[in-house]
Chain A
Amino acid sequence: MCRIGAIKSKGFIHPSKALTLMRSQQKGHDNSGFAMVMQDLGGRFEDYKELPILSMACTDDGMATAEEILHKEGFIRSMQWSPEINDRPGLNIEPMPNYVFQILQYPKSYKYAPQEEKEQLLVDTRLKIREALEEQEAGYIYSFWPDVITLKEIGDPTDIGEYFGLWEEDEEFTARIITAQCRQNTNYDIVRYAAHPFFLQGYTALANGENTFYEKNMNFQKGLNKGYIGFESDSQCFLYTLHYIHKELGWPLEYFKHTITPLPFDQLEGREDSDVLLRIRSSLAHLEINGPNTIIGVLPDGTVFNTCDAKKLRPVVVGRTDDTVIITSEVTGINEVLPDREWDKDIYTNERETVVVTNDLEVHRWQQ
């Protein structure tokens, strides 16, 4: 099982906090990877909020391929940053030759383009680069989106942290939202794409558990959006459902829960909105999940939320102080990062609940 976590803070925080959060939950697990998505960036990325950032791990050939595609599309590089590598013998990590975080300007022809078109261009370009990299076996592209950085690595999370120098706090590499996972896929091969968090068009999702409706989810999602690809992990389905409900259909977030874990029929009876909910249940039956799951999601506007399977078979806890909220698999992680919080205010999300953290760090509990 994965261990997942999300930190949302009023101030900028460094990934070392995420590593600390996750490391204490590693006991007894195989520690085969660490991955994170940083959103609402600070430090050296803070002045480029509107510009897309490419997150990639690749070979030299992969780098050349990606640059060629970007050049052809008309993107112009504004800034590039690579983490400082601290390699030493004995580190349990399978690194790629290059880790690239590139800030790019949109093609000139998109100067007056509506936001939707720009967003579509970013998705199309990412898919194009991904396909080219896969053909050449030359690397991985994780995200291409404004104000977002993604890193996924195979190996021991402690060693990964050391390799990238992430244990040392650095004001230049910070964000207000960091989502992270340690441990890789158990059901399938360990590949970088299979690591959470999954990201698409500003939406991030992580999950701890087993999606027993993976096959029906996947079969349905494949036809919904060309960005719904990969499926290296059964948990990717949650991201695509979130994206589909919230972005494609434009439904409020509360209907994500109604879609993935619909209320039992006997509870629907007598509800004022039973008509809507029954139609959702019939039309989106293939997006239901039925396995044990805890899902953490992030919306493009920075809202962070958590919800669980309908039987609450996987643990999750929400801990908070005035300026930080953490959602993670085990309370031990929060104890490490927020030792002085009022622990009796911790929330253990229930089976019918969506816990929502707003940008003001208000924590709302929605009952389904």
Chain B
Amino acid sequence: MATMKVNQISRDDLDWQLDYNTERCTMCGSCVAACPFEAIHAGIEKRRKVVSDHLTPEPKVEFKAIPIIKQTVDTYKYCRGCGICERVCPNSAIKPVRNEDSRFAIKYRGALADPYKRGGRANLSTGERTLDKIRVGRISQMTDPSLDASRHTFDMLAPFGRVLPPGELPINVKDGKLTLDKTMLPPVNWIYPIIIGDMSIGALSWRMWEAMSIATAYLNEEAGIPIRMCSGEGGVPVRLLQSKYLKYTILQIASGHFGWNRIINAMPKMTEDPAGVLIKIGQGAKPGDGGLLQAKKVASHIQEIRGVPKADLLSPPNHQGLYSIEESVQKMFLSFNSAFRFKVPVAIKVAASSTSVSVYNNLLRDPYNIVGGFFLDGISGGTGAANEISLDHTGHPVISKLRDCYNAATHQGKQSQIPLWAAGGMGQNWNLAADAFKSIALGANGIFTGKLMLQLAGCVGNDRGKCNACNTGLCPVGICTQNPTLVKRLDIDKAAENIVNYFLSVDYELKKLLAPIGNSSLPVGRSDCLISEDKAVADRLNIQYAC
């Protein structure tokens, strides 16, 4: 009798189990070849078969060894449910099935003394979102007619940059006209109210990054949608830095300061100013935590862009040397404004937190008028290498905090002086336009979104723990990996096309929401047009309760 190895990991411990049909399998090997995790392999099974080869039944037992596809049972090589095997199987012979009774999280930690990492998706907060509990409830009628989304024009641009109150504008009256002294005015750029959020080249494959860059350029130059894309931490290819497309790119500096020496070196050769600079302090998916790019994803081109050796790249939780808002303003904002001759808006990105309002208030009172935006990232944000413990158990939903920040500014009569941008799960239910509209009505000037771009490119992960292997460098669809073989799975042109098409539909849908409330420009802070059937949500956000 075999020994019961109860403390070893077994198939029923795993999150995902293979549903495999030997009868349909032709052993073509596609699934094994396609699985980046080596979670399946070819094996042999001994089969007992009763046969009869006489005219009258004369049963006899035969044993046969047949080749099959087997699930690997291993704490390193385990199935993540990405479903690539199912996609490549020509005969529908294999698919992963969620194991409701999984014990993998405990087995993994017990075996490896390591946090159980699952990449950039929240695994616990997958219920109905606050944004889904809000509707647009004030529909224009006879007294304030709806607009025609197809016929009327809409001004859907948001300011990115420090907005001065009118009394502080260097305006003079001359011959009945206002004139402006433009020297030392903080830069303000008008951009589309949705930004492609910061996802670094390093976290993403270069092909994914290229797809987003192509989509951004196309949207700007062909579709007339002035969308901006943030580089994420870790630098930008020098070729892009020197190209005209830099004007569509917001350069990010996060606490690792990776890649900034390259950016600074490229500055004399820049032909365009970047769209902005974003100083990342925190991220919604891992508030209070730093960033991490595992050595396995630090490919040679990443080393070159970031100026680093092949090693784990850790961004500390904060910018070393900055421990107060005063220092931040004086050192970081001033230096980055100065670096680009005070012509490029410099904004900050923080994780939504109980203290977000304090930070925002502090910045609103900044005497230098140089903070060009407040990017607030909520609990559902992030891609990449976030620890599960951070993903699932820290963070703050963004909506109430966005509302608090807007209300705090309103209380001081300073709304929109530092434009508010919010994110963290925008488009999680595939409807970015609705999320954008509701966020704007609650006080955002705009929103940013990241993971949705990955979904458009073909990411197979979901919020219920499917795939979620962005951290492994083994992204099965070539989006979050630097593995040359896997990267080639991503069709750059198709991904770019999907992103462009999605934004075209978002633009149309945004108009379809603006039109019925009778607005042709962004309804920033127009919370009177929102209702909620959830009393708690209505009370918290101070919008109308409807039942």
B64 to chain A, nearest CB (A): 74
Residue pairs across A and B with CB atoms within 8 Å: the count is 115
B525 touches A282 (CB 8 A): no
Contact A285 B169, CB 8 Å, known A252-B177, A265-B155 = no
- The 8 Å CB contact of B525, one of A186, A216, A264, A311, is A216
Question: CB distance B143 to A279 under 8 Å?
Answer: no
Contact A216 B524 (CB under 8 A): yes
Q: Per-residue 0/1 for B255-281: is the Cβ within 8 Å of any A Cβ (1 yes, 0 no)? A: 000000000000000000000000000
Give the distance in Å from the alpha carbon of A262 to the alpha carbon of B140 in the complex.
21
CB atoms of A283 and B163 under 8 A apart: yes
Partner of B144, one of A212, A248, A280: A212
CB distance from B418 to the nearest CB of A (A): 12
Q: Are the CB atoms of B416 and A215 closer together than 8 Å?
A: no
CB neighbours of A216 from chain B (8 A): 415, 523-526
Instruction: State which residues 68-95 of A face B: CB under 8 Å.
Output: none
Q: Which of B152, B182, B525 contacts A286 (CB 8 A)?
A: B525
Residue of A nearest to B522 (CB): A285
Question: Does B413 sit within 8 A of A, measured CB to CB?
Answer: yes
Contact with B along A239-255 (1 / 0, CB 8 A): 00000000011111011
**Contact status B188-A282, CB under 8 Å:** yes
Residue B153 interfacial (CB < 8 Å): yes
Q: Which residues of B contact A283 (CB under 8 A)?
A: 163-166, 169
CA distance A112 to B413 in the complex (A): 35
Residues of B within 8 A of A248 (CB): 167
A40 on the B face (CB < 8 A): no
**In the complex, chain A residues whose CB is within 8 Å of the CB of B412:** 223
B520 CB contacts on chain A under 8 angstroms? 290, 310-311
Comparing A119-127, A175-183, A270-278, A315-323, the segment that makes contact with chain B is A270-278
> How far, in Å, is A79 (CB) from chain B's closest CB?
39
User: Which among A1, A265, A282 is the interface contact of B163 at CB below 8 angstroms?
Assistant: A282
Closest to A222 in B: B413
Residues of B within 8 A of A279 (CB): 164, 169, 171, 180, 185, 188
Q: Is the CB of B176 within 8 A of A252?
A: yes
- Contact between A212 and B518, CB atoms less than 8 A apart: yes
Give the residues in chain A near B169, CB-CB below 8 Å: 279, 283
Across the interface, do A215 and B527 meet the contact criterion of CB distance under 8 Å? yes
Contacts A212-B140, A265-B157, A313-B145; is A280 near B519 (CB within 8 Å)? no
A214 at the interface (CB under 8 A from B): yes
B166 touches A275 (CB 8 A): no
Q: When the two chains form their complex, are residues A280 and B166 in contact, meaning their CB atoms are under 8 A apart?
A: yes
The docked-state distance in angstroms from the alpha carbon of A38 to that of B177 is 30
State the Cβ distance, A247 to closest chain B Cβ, in Å.
Answer: 13
B132 interface contact, C-beta 8 A = no
Task: Select from chain A the residue with minimum beta-carbon distance to B407.
Answer: A219
Q: Could you tell me if B415 and A220 are in contact, using CB atoms closer than 8 angstroms?
A: yes
Residue of chain A at shortest CB distance from B527: A215
Q: State which of B152, B518, B528 has its C-beta within 8 Å of the C-beta of A215.
A: B528
> How many B residues, CB 8 Å from partner?
46
The answer on a CB contact under 8 Å between A252 and B518 is: no
Q: Is the CB of B190 within 8 A of A273?
A: no
Residue B517 lies at the interface, judged by CB distance under 8 Å to chain A = yes
B178 an interface residue at 8 Å Cβ cutoff? yes
- B182 with A290: CB separation less than 8 A: no
Closest A residue to B419 by beta carbon equals: A282
Contact, CB under 8 Å: A311 / B144: no
Q: Whole-angstrom distance between the alpha carbons of A41 and B152 in the complex?
A: 44
> Is B159 on the interface with A (CB-CB < 8 A)?
yes
A311 to B145, CA, bound (A): 11
Identify the closest chain A residue to B188 (Cβ): A282
- Nearest chain A CB to B454's CB is how many angstroms away? 31
CB distance from A215 to the nearest CB of B (A): 4
What is the bound-complex CA distance between A254 and B169, given in angstroms?
Answer: 18
Are B518 and A291 neighbours in the complex by a CB distance under 8 Å?
yes
User: Is residue B179 contacting chain A, with contact meaning CB distance below 8 A?
Assistant: yes
**A278 to B189 CA separation, bound complex (whole angstroms):** 10
**Within the complex, what minimum Cβ distance (angstroms) separates A314 from chain B?**
10
- A278 proximity list for chain B (CB < 8 A): 188, 190
For residues 408 through 452 of chain B, which have their beta carbon under 8 Å from a beta carbon of chain A?
Answer: 410-413, 415-416
Is A209 interfacial (CB-CB < 8 Å)?
yes
Whether a CB of chain B sits under 8 angstroms from the CB of A159 is: no
- Cβ-based interface call for B173 (8 A): yes
Known: A215-B525, A311-B147. A249 touches B166 (CB 8 A): yes
Interface flag for B22 (CB, 8 Å): no
- On whether A276 and B144 interact (CB within 8 A), knowing A215-B525, A220-B413, A311-B152, the answer reads no
Q: Write out the residue numbers on chain A whose beta carbons fall within 8 Å of the beta carbon of B173.
A: 250-252
**Which residue numbers of B lie inside 8 Å of A, CB to CB?**
140, 143-145, 147, 152-153, 155, 157, 159, 161, 163-167, 169, 171, 173, 176-180, 182, 185, 188, 190, 410-413, 415-416, 517-521, 523-529
Interchain Cβ contacts under 8 Å between A and B, 5 examples = A248-B167, A282-B416, A292-B143, A292-B518, A311-B152
Across the A-B interface, give the 6 residue pairs with the lowest CB-CB distance, nearest first: A223-B413, A210-B144, A215-B528, A216-B525, A283-B166, A290-B519
Further 15 A-B residue pairs, CB within 8 A, beyond A186-B143, A283-B169: A210-B518, A212-B144, A212-B519, A213-B519, A213-B526, A216-B524, A250-B173, A252-B177, A278-B190, A279-B164, A280-B166, A282-B416, A285-B159, A290-B523, A292-B145
